[in-house]
């Protein structure tokens, strides 16, 4: 795995940037646009984005889980433990949040009316994941 770790990491970071950027646009930018363009116009835009956006988000989240899983063995495994260090604890929290986001998106794919504002929750969880990614290497 160490031979391809850096390549997988680049792919993971690329798709993470797209994922968080999409959520940021949907939650923040469209709400700001609603103040200027009117809520009806923005709702039409959101409806158009939602038709393909949820499938895109699911695909991106799945790629992130797969690439993250590939890199996971470098940080946690049966030899070095799963919760032995602060880095591992923060990493496992990242994994838990990643799966929570994937579950949110999956539920929205199956039944759209259950979760009205899941984008906000996914954005907050994604930003926490980004913060944890930095803290993992800063906190001893």
**pTM for the predicted model, two decimal places:** 0.87
How do residues 70-81 score in pLDDT, each as one tens digit?
Answer: 999 888 988 889
Q: Is the dihedral of CA 130, 133, 134, 139 positive or negative?
A: positive
Is the pLDDT at 18 greater than 90? The verdict is yes
- Return the pLDDT at 113: 66
Q: Say how far apart CA 11 and CA 112 lie, in whole Å.
A: 29
How do the domains of the chain map onto residue ranges? 1-137
pLDDT, mean of residues 50-77:
88
């Amino acid at each position: 795995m160490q031979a391809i770790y850096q390549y997988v990491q680049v792919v993971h970071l690329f798709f993470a940037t797209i994922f968080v950027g999409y959520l940021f646009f949907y939650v923040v930018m469209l709400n700001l646009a609603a103040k200027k363009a009117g809520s009806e116009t923005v709702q039409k835009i959101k409806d158009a984005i939602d038709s393909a956006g949820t499938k895109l988000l699911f695909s991106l989240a799945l790629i992130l889980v797969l690439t993250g899983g590939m890199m996971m063995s470098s940080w946690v495994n049966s030899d070095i433990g799963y919760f032995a260090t602060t880095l591992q604890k923060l990493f496992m929290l990242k994994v838990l949040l990643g799966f929570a986001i994937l579950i949110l998106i999956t539920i929205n794919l199956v039944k759209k009316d259950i979760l009205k504002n899941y984008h906000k929750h996914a954005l907050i969880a994604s930003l926490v994941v980004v913060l944890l990614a930095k803290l993992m290497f800063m906190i001893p």
